[in-house]
Amino acid sequence: MAKEAIKKIKLQIPAGKATPAPPVGTVLGPAGINLQEFCTKYNDATRDKMGDILPVEISIYDDRSFDFIIKTPPTGFLLKKIAKINKGSVKGANETVATISVDQLREVAEIKLPDLNCDDIEAAMKTVAGTARNMGIKVDGYNTDSEK
């Protein structure tokens, strides 16, 4: 019989840098799981993605065991990284803070595709382009349907 998860927790933790200190300890401590074991497993699993912030979905079972699924980095994080900026526009789409190429847009869309609710790369590119637009990042040579 499969174990039934009694709690699901979602966190965003820098890859390879989970520690039992806050914020990880604050959230997972009350759940009763072994914090050091979680941190070790998470850090080992994410060591190759150092520097990225990764969302993780932790399933905790009634016997205090756990497992976790590591998702792809947030779209905004990837766009800021590829555009080499620290933060998006304060005024959203009304202010351009950076410009990226269609190839860079495709690269971000390919990374995000497993976690997006679309089937092909073109739909993923539209989704990522919308996020970029709202962050004030212009995509050179790419028009979404709303701009045509």
Same domain, 57 and 40: yes
Name the residue among 111, 135, 106, 140 with its Cα closest to residue 122. 106
What are 40-57's pLDDT values in tens digits? 998 898 888 888 888 999
Clarify whether residues 10 and 37 are in a common domain: yes
- 64, 83: one domain: no
Same domain flag for 82 and 43 = no
Mean pLDDT of 81-93: 83
Same domain flag for 81 and 142 = yes
Whether pLDDT at 75 is above 50: yes
Q: Please name the amino acid found at residue 65.
A: S
Of 70, 94, 115, at which residue does a domain stop? 70
Q: Are residues 25 and 41 in the same domain?
A: yes
The answer to whether the peptide bond before residue 23 is cis (omega within 30 degrees of 0) is: yes
**Burial (CB count within 10 angstroms: exposed 0-12, middle 13-18, buried 19+), residue 62:** exposed
> Do 118 and 66 lie in a common domain?
no
Statement to judge: residues 92 and 63 lie in one domain: no
Q: Residue 147: what pLDDT?
A: 44
Q: 135 with 85: CB under 8 angstroms?
A: no
Task: List the CATH number of the domain containing 44.
Answer: 3.30.1550.10
Hey, what are 147's tokens? 């701009």
- Judgement on whether residues 58 and 79 belong to the same structural domain of the protein: no
Q: Provide the domain count of the chain.
A: 2
How far, in whole angstroms, is CA 1 from its chain's centroid? 32
- Do 22 and 56 have their domain in common? yes
CATH number of domain containing 107: 1.10.10.250
pLDDT computed for residue 88 by the predictor: 80
Domain range for residue 52? Answer: 5-70
> Are residues 22 and 62 both part of a single domain?
yes
Mean of per-residue pLDDT scores for the chain: 84
